[in-house]
Structure 1
Amino acid sequence: MPARLTFHTRINPFMIDIGANLAHESFAQDFEAVLARATAAGLSHIVLTGSDAESNSRALQLARAQPAMLSATAGLHPHHAAHWSEALAAQIRGNAQAAECRAVGECGLDYFRDLSPRPDQQAAFRAQLDIAVATGLPVFLHQRAAHADFVAILREYRPQLSAACVHCFTEGPAELEDYLALDCHIGVTGWVCDERRGAAAAEAAPMIPVERLMIETDAPYLLPRNLPRAVAKSAGRRNEPAYLPWVRDRLAELRGDDPEALGQATAATARAFFGLD
């Protein structure tokens, strides 16, 4: 088992957070400090997730201001699928033309909360996959409690897609096998640090080929539960990219990998997936 590292020595200048919702209002007051802490923690790049019209616009604006450190995606989360419109489709297509926009999404299906009707979710998912096919961008995918429908739709489109990442993987070995059969990349978050609900994902973690594996915080959500008490207390309930090393270390522990080597490998995969080189 790899040795545990302290916060001050967890420096890997190659780490990339592939999914952080830094357009979220909780980062409005200290955005620059959040980036400074991420850099101090060893991150070299962060991909900002777009999930609705407002965050798509904000993520692209932020990425354009600091393109060396930030990139963006553009999409509509399934929670908001009932609000799909041609205007939103036009925004995503427009954002996709920007050099700083690296993927279509976050898009997919979420039957766990069903905040939008399932037919609307499926229609919005298909529409965004169509945009990804047309633009040649990879897709950044969300799925929760909708595996069968999600895989069926993705299987239909996968031959036409340049690349696909199942973001925030929370499932087990059987679901992972389906994604790998579709040549998908896998994004792992602090879900694997959660002993209450992350057992299935933790079981599957060693089975992810390293060339398909990437890491993310999904900030401000999914604060890693393996944070030291003092760090967790200072964080409150808000996750941020500076806490990515704890996702990396837990994942390395589950896989029997060296944390530094795993951080570098996942960053290399991220650079290739998002075209960051």
Structure 2
Amino acid sequence: MSLIDIGVNLTNNRFNDDVEQVIARARDHNVIAQIVTGTSPAESQQAYQLAQQYPDLFSTAGCHPHDAKDFKSDDLSVLNALLQDDKVVAVGECGLDFNRNFSPQDTQLAVFEQQLQLACDTQKPLFLHERDAGEAMISLLKQYQSELPNAVIHCFTGSQESLEEYINMGLYIGITGWICDERRGQDLANMVHLIPDDKLMIETDSPFLTPRDLSKEQKAQLKSNRNEPFLLPHVAQKVADCRQQSLSELSKNCLNNTVTFFNLPIKQQ
């Protein structure tokens, strides 16, 4: 069984002291590749630099909606330059977050639209963030749909209505340890079976979203309850259980989907 984590925040300062060990621990748990998320132009450059150091790391380049308020006119050219490299495999993390609104909604929309155009221009896939903004997200995606490359809704936590709309549009869906949370993730657990086998990917979103249903032994391996990519098999098992699939079948499907979507130099299974 081999897995690829499509969303890890290894440039987060919680990994400053031991990122090499974190990467090695993931390898020891059959995580054969990781995609380091770029959430701002500066973070995207750091993610790229990290990916350059390890053959099994790749990165994305984008501006998260939380950071949209700080996006400058020349930042788009920074992202574009990064996306010319094969190690940078997607535009994002970009999108809309009307839940926390750390950036004004009109600013989020404007910055997101620039990145949609960037994806159309570079034909690199989209790594999308959406929280409480499904209607606006769907509306914008439809405007660009004829030119857009593939897109994945990273860390999907939305409604069944949004999920079905995304699936109808041909989007991929990324599932995190949110599904392991008995307080918030039950709706997701109940609807994850709706995702077609060829549109599903998995991720940890480390260091965030530590699964709540870990064993004592797993918790003992964590540093200050920090989520790590070595827990991806745990997420995979939960998703497989909810979909009433074998872990081997789910893992194979997710790996093949990920290799195809991000055009990774990894052999399919």
TM-score range for the pair, normalised by the shorter chain length = over 0.9
Counterpart AA for 1:119: D
Aligned to 1:5: none
Aligned to 2:18: 30
Q: Deviations over 1:100-157 (max 9, x none)?
A: 0000000000011010000000001000001010001000000001111111111111
The answer to whether residue 230 in structure 2 is matched with residue 242 in structure 1 is yes
Aligned to 1:212: 199
The answer to whether residue 112 in structure 2 is matched with residue 116 in structure 1 is no
The answer to whether residue 133 in structure 2 is matched with residue 142 in structure 1 is no
TM-score (norm 1): 0.93
Q: Which runs of 5+ in 2 are unaligned?
A: none
Aligned to 1:82: 69
Kindly state the Cα deviation for residue 205 of structure 1 after the two structures are TM-superposed: 0.3
Q: Which has the higher mean CA deviation after the structures are superposed, 112-121 or 152-161?
A: 152-161
Q: Which runs of 5+ in 1 are unaligned?
A: 1-11
Kindly state the Cα deviation for residue 238 of structure 1 after the two structures are TM-superposed: 0.8
What root-mean-square deviation, in Å, do the aligned CA atoms of Structure 1 and Structure 2 show?
1.0
Counterpart AA for 1:85: K
Kindly state the Cα deviation for residue 53 of structure 1 after the two structures are TM-superposed: 2.2
Identity %: 38
Q: Is 1:51–1:74's contact at 8 Å kept on the other side of the alignment?
A: yes
Instruction: Pick from 221, 224, 241 the counterpart of residue 253 of structure 1.
Output: 241
Counterpart AA for 2:207: P
SS at the partner of 1:243? helix
Instruction: Pick from 192, 197, 218 the counterpart of residue 179 of structure 2.
Output: 192
Q: Deviations over 1:227-271 (max 9, x none)?
A: 112322441221110010111000000000111221121011000
Distance 2:71 2:191 in 1: 34
Aligned to 2:83: 96
Q: Is 1:46–1:71's contact at 8 Å kept on the other side of the alignment?
A: yes
Counterpart AA for 1:186: I
Q: Is 2:132–2:158's contact at 8 Å kept on the other side of the alignment?
A: no
The number of residue pairs the alignment matches comes to: 264
The answer to whether residue 249 in structure 2 is matched with residue 271 in structure 1 is no
Distance 2:185 2:218 in 1: 21
Q: Is 1:173–1:203's contact at 8 Å kept on the other side of the alignment?
A: no
SS at the partner of 2:240? helix
Instruction: Pick from 19, 29, 44 the counterpart of residue 32 of structure 2.
Output: 44
Instruction: Pick from 118, 138, 155 the counterpart of residue 131 of structure 1.
Output: 118
Distance 1:252 1:55 in 2: 33
Aligned to 1:226: 213
Q: Is 2:134–2:158's contact at 8 Å kept on the other side of the alignment?
A: no
Q: Map 1:178-189; keep pairs closer than 5 Å.
A: 178-189=165-176
